[in-house]
Amino acid sequence: MDNSPDNKGKYLLIACILSSVLVVTFFAYIAVMINSSRNVPLYSQVDIIAGMVFVFVLSMIISASLWPEIIEKRIR
């Protein structure tokens, strides 16, 4: 495995995006399940989509601070 900084950056970007998409998918699933279980929807579609964007940005920030250390250990 090549230890160049370019590859570390690629691995970091892929890990951040995949983990953020996983968290957003979980958030959307929970929000839709809560909405469908009620007679009167608790959230509108705009609320759910805005929440998904917020969760994606927040999870990208958090994962960008966590993944570099994990990837650095795996590459060594």
Q: Domain boundaries in the chain?
A: 14-75
| Residues 48-62: tens digit of each pLDDT | 999 999 999 999 999
Q: How far apart are CA 7 and CA 48, in angstroms?
A: 35
CA–CA separation, 4 vs 49, rounded Å? 38
For 1-34, write each residue's pLDDT tens digit: 455 666 788 888 899 999 999 999 999 999 999 9
pTM for the structure as a whole: 0.81
